[in-house]
Amino acid sequence: MEQQQGGKLLVLCYTGEGSSRRIVVRRHNANGSLDSSFGFHGEAVKSYVPLFNLVQRVYGTPIAFKVQSDGKILVAGETTDPKLAAVWRFTAAGILDTTFGAGNGYVVLGLNVISGTSIDIDVSAGKPLIFYQVQKVFSGPGYPFPTTRTVSYLTRLRTDGSADSTFGTLGNVYIPYTFSLGSGVTVAPASGKIYVFGLSSSSFYVLGGSNAPRIFRFLTGGLADPGFPTVEAPTNFDSVCYDENGPSAGTSNVQYQSLMVQTGDNILVSSASYNLGGWIYYQANTSRFLSNGFPDQIYGGAWGGKCEVSALIKPGDPPFFVSDSRISRVVQQSDGRFIFGVWDSAYPYLKRRLGNGDLDPSFQPTLSLGLGTFLDILIQTADGKAVILSRFPDHNWSGYKLLRLLQ
């Protein structure tokens, strides 16, 4: 979910599967009604389809979108055949922007993406910045035969869609790690520094780096930030590797689900983890790092983290309860308080914390979101109200609804 000026809300969906999959962007007015002036009857597609699958950032579909400062809409995804990363741009009114790309409104990146892996997009120095993963063949010294590895790239385009040669090498930054679905990229609004986050593992065994949550930070031009610590990464790549539960908590598969850069370049992340054994332990967390990459002990003790929700699933529990605890992206209000949603064994609810990390006792929203609903949240810039996006928990997980809090 994103927003344009005037509090208008954009929802990213898709229809169909496989080669018939189509990206849909719908726009709602600030009061929640569908904006018929946007695209075609409120949708940036060529034909109307009544049911939509909501794009779910984690464990979902590799599609992402971002609104530029001029209101234009960037959508990143993958083509069907061959599998290539692609970026589409729509005007603020929902019409394909033919000034982007070769007069067709989109740009295809000339690398084979790994189908179903993470794709994300943000705006860096006023230009589209795309994060994606590809298969790369390595040969030569050290390789007795050609070897295929999954690696990641950041690509920055100029405003017309051509490669931005001022970023990295010919517009690309190469990251020798593979990231799980749900990983992404975030650009700090003040400093312009670029964060890549998610559950990742090294593409090369010689680097070490088993599956772990990592945060990489790059400068605006694409160079690794020397002010960020290096953990389980090659010396020329700076990252944070951190399990919010500490090294002896016994959980595994920690997945960063959102990253927000606060004032002073402090980093607030949400994550979920689980440990598969005789008993299944699920946990959702928020954590804060200082700008130098070390845990903020004021926020959450030695590990800088807080457990927001946990669930212990015993053998023999009904399948209904076997649902991992998830957490939505974290959004910050103008007064420094921040809101996020958690999903505890299929029941969603909201939390709000003060700037120092304490729970806000005055925030006790009563929501009717339904069973098994996934949350997304944003703060409307026009009035500071929080809007919640949820999915209908029917058999197809089709459709969505919007709710707005009064305060």
Q: What is the pLDDT of residues 321-336, one digit of tens each?
A: 334 556 778 888 888 8
| Confidence band for 153, pLDDT divided at 50, 70 and 90 | very high
The conformation of residue 55, written as its DSSP 8-state character, comes to P
The pLDDT assigned to 62 comes to 61
Beta partners for residue 99, in sequence order: none
The C-alpha atoms of residue 312 and residue 325 are separated, in whole angstroms, by 10
pLDDT band, residue 245 (cuts 50/70/90): very low
Looking at the chain, the whole-number percentage of residues with pLDDT higher than 90 is 19
Note the pLDDT of residue 93: 92
∠ at Cα 219 (270, 74), nearest 5°?
Answer: 65
Where are the alpha helices (H) located in 131-281, listed in sequence order?
none
Confidence of residue 211 (pLDDT cuts 50, 70, 90): low
Predicted pLDDT of residue 218: 94
Does the structure show a pLDDT above 60 at 149? yes
Mean pLDDT of 383-407: 73
395 vs 294 pLDDT, higher one: 294
Q: Which two tokens stand for residue 121?
A: 């997009």
* Distance in angstroms (rounded) separating the CA atoms of residues 155 and 132: 8
Instruction: Indicate the range of 71-85, 108-122, 326-340, 391-405 predicted with least confidence.
Output: 391-405
The pLDDT, as a whole number, for residue 308 is 78
Q: What is the pLDDT of residues 250-284, one digit of tens each?
A: 445 666 678 899 888 888 888 776 665 555 566 77
Q: Residue 121: is it exposed, middle or buried by C-beta count within 10 angstroms (0-12/13-18/19+)?
A: buried
CB pairs under 8 A, 24+ apart, for 114-117? 114/83, 114/150, 114/178, 115/78, 115/83, 116/62, 116/181, 117/62, 117/150, 117/178, 117/179, 117/180, 117/181
CB-CB contact of 271 with 308 (8 Å): no
Q: For residue 243, what pLDDT is reported?
A: 41
Q: How confident is the model over 94-120, as a mean pLDDT?
A: 82
Omega prior to 82 cis, within 30 of 0: yes
SS3 322: coil
Nearest Cα to Cα of residue 49 among 402, 397, 398, 403: 398
Q: Residue 12: what residue type?
A: L
pLDDT of 52 strictly over 60: no
Q: Is 244 helix (H, G, I), strand (E, B) or coil?
A: coil
CA-based max dimension of the chain: 64
The reported pLDDT for the residue numbered 238 is 41
pLDDT at 1: 87
Strands of 267-275's sheet in order across: 252-261, 267-275, 280-289, 305-313
CA distances from 193 to 187, 239, 289, 367 (A): 6, 13, 15, 36
What are 156-200's pLDDT values in tens digits?
999 999 999 999 999 999 988 888 777 889 999 999 999 998 877
Query: So what's the pLDDT on residue 49?
Result: 34
pLDDT for 235: 28
pTM: 0.85
> Within 275-358, where are the H helices?
297-300
Indicate if the pLDDT at residue 155 is higher than 50. yes
The pLDDT of residue 291 is above 80: yes
pLDDT at residue number 280 = 56
Position 77: which residue type? G
Q: Taking the CA atoms of 289, 355, 220 and 178 in sequence, report the sign of the dihedral they define.
A: positive
**Of the candidates 373, 402, 400, the residue with the CA atom closest to the CA atom of residue 386:** 402
pLDDT 10s digits, 320-374: 333 455 677 888 888 888 888 877 655 677 889 988 888 898 887 766 655 556 6
The winner for highest mean pLDDT among 132-141, 223-232, 317-326 is 132-141
Burial class, 126, CB count within 10 angstroms (exposed 0-12 / middle 13-18 / buried 19+): exposed
Q: Which residue has the higher pLDDT, 380 or 28?
A: 28
pLDDT at 114 over 70: no
* Residues 136-145 pLDDT 10s: 887 777 777 8
- Residues 74-92 have a mean pLDDT of 82
CA–CA distances in Å: residue 87 to residues 17, 64, 84, 144, 157 = 19, 10, 10, 37, 10
What does the pLDDT read at residue 320?
39
Looking at every residue in the chain, the average pLDDT score rounds to: 76
